[in-house]
Amino acid sequence: MSARILDGKAIAEQVREQIARDAAALIAQGTQPCLAVILVGNDPASSVYVRNKVAGCEKAGFRSLKFEYAADAEPQVVLDKIAELNADASVHGILVQLPLPPQFDEDAVLEAIDPDKDVDGFHAVNVGRLLQGREGFYPCTPWGVIKMLEVGGVEIQGKDAVVIGRSNIVGKPMAVMLLARGATVTVCHSKTKDLAGHVRRADIVIAAVGRPNFVTGDMLKPGAVVIDVGINRLPSGKLCGDVEFASAAEVASLITPVPGGVGPMTITMLLGNTLLSAQRAAK
Ligand code: GUN
């Protein structure tokens, strides 16, 4: 194996220590960062994510509020709660865990959140701000990838980057963030004709397709930087990414593992966004 491993767990730990220090300074001035999390239904993965988000808040010295609703909840009840949290000056971040049950209009729920408390960065106003390169909240997973590239000393400007996946949560914002930093960006997806050909030309590959071991070493340019956003569970129960780690690590210069790569960065950036919101509110 020749690639250097970019340790997301260690980077996340470092960033969280700084967030906790900044939170303590803000608390000393009378403002405690507060994140409100809304969970509807009983999807086991969502419950785990929400538990980890609340635990992350506690560890960083933040206040957290958790509101849970049954899977058959009336959407209006959730919209009323969002309105109440929007109006509460002690709440700096509001997050609705996705996916929502089918009776919900997900876009309408996200749009109900005050964009200045939308720490997930999913509100159309924040998506527009990101696209225009303005201050706002940026989606946590791609934002975490950028942080990892920075810590890893990866030059983005002038590089050919390929993003595999075009979701609103990862692929699209990832492409915009790389573009803003001067990369030449190609977004590949399920309809792309020669995906391997695109990947082979890339200096930076971001895999966010949700298919186990989709990117293999023979598809990579020697020395490429490979960031694996995928978290897939194999029938054996084992977690694996979108990149076949062993073969990719033979060819890449830098690679993220799964688990322990991008995963730990997502909640870290959520805490960062919540802190930022609290700092803005305290000004
Ligand atoms: N579901 C999967 N990822 C996310 C995320 O980053 N935020 C929210 N709110 N829901 C999700």
pLDDT (tens digit per residue) in 76-99? 999 999 999 999 999 999 999 999
Interatomic CA distance for residues 189 and 203, integer angstroms = 18
CA 184, 143, 12, 37: dihedral to nearest 10 degrees?
-160
Distance of CA 274 to the CA centre of its chain: 14
Structure confidence at residue 205 (pLDDT)? 99
CA 10, 219, 170, 17: dihedral to nearest 10 degrees?
10
Structure confidence at residue 46 (pLDDT)? 97
- Residue 182 is given by DSSP the state T
- Residue 225 is given by DSSP the state E
pLDDT digits (tens, 9 = 90+) for 11-28: 999 999 999 999 999 999
Question: Would you say residue 177 has pLDDT above 90?
Answer: yes
Structure confidence at residue 189 (pLDDT)? 96
Which domains are delineated in the chain? 30-114 (3.40.50.10860), 139-263 (3.40.50.720)
Taking each helix axis from N to C terminus, what angle separates 8-28 and 44-60, rounded to the nearest 10 degrees?
50
Please answer whether residues 262 and 227 qualify as being in contact, where contact means their C-beta atoms are separated by less than 8 angstroms: yes
Look at ligand 1, atom 1, and give the residue with the nearest C-alpha: 98
Report the pLDDT averaged over residues 123-129.
98
pLDDT digits (tens, 9 = 90+) for 35-68: 999 999 999 999 999 999 999 999 999 999 999 9
CA contacts within 13 A on the Cβ side of 123: 19
Please answer whether residues 11 and 265 qualify as being in contact, where contact means their C-beta atoms are separated by less than 8 angstroms: yes
Best residue for ligand 1 mutational test, from 48, 82, 94, 98 (most atoms within 8 Å of Cβ)? 98
3-state DSSP assignment of residue 113: coil
116 labelled catalytic: no
3-state DSSP assignment of residue 123: coil
Look at ligand 1, atom 9, and give the residue with the nearest C-alpha: 97
**Whole-prediction pTM value?**
0.97
114 labelled catalytic: no
- Residue 61 is given by DSSP the state T
Question: Would you say residue 1 has pLDDT above 90?
Answer: no
Structure confidence at residue 17 (pLDDT)? 98
Taking residue 218's Cβ as centre, other Cβ atoms within 10 Å add up to 12
Token match 């964009």: residue? 115
Sign of CA dihedral 131, 135, 138, 144: positive
120 labelled catalytic: yes
Residue 109 identity (one-letter amino acid): V
Report the pLDDT averaged over residues 242-247.
98
Q: Which residues line ligand 1 (CB under 6 A)?
A: 95-98, 120, 140, 169
What is the pLDDT of the chain when averaged over all its residues?
A: 98
Distance 194 CA to ligand 1 centre (A): 30
| The token pair that represents 176 in the structure block | 């915009």
Token match 């509460």: residue? 88
Among the atoms of ligand 1, which is closest to the Cα of residue 46? Answer: 1
3-state DSSP assignment of residue 240: strand
pLDDT digits (tens, 9 = 90+) for 178-227: 999 999 999 999 999 999 999 999 999 999 999 999 999 999 999 999 99
Interatomic CA distance for residues 149 and 146, integer angstroms = 5
Structure confidence at residue 202 (pLDDT)? 98
Question: Would you say residue 162 has pLDDT above 80?
Answer: yes
Nearest residue to 135 via CA among 85, 86, 180: 180
Distance 188 CA to ligand 1 centre (A): 22
Report the pLDDT averaged over residues 146-169.
98
| The token pair that represents 120 in the structure block | 């997930």
Interatomic CA distance for residues 269 and 266, integer angstroms = 5
Please answer whether residues 262 and 256 qualify as being in contact, where contact means their C-beta atoms are separated by less than 8 angstroms: yes
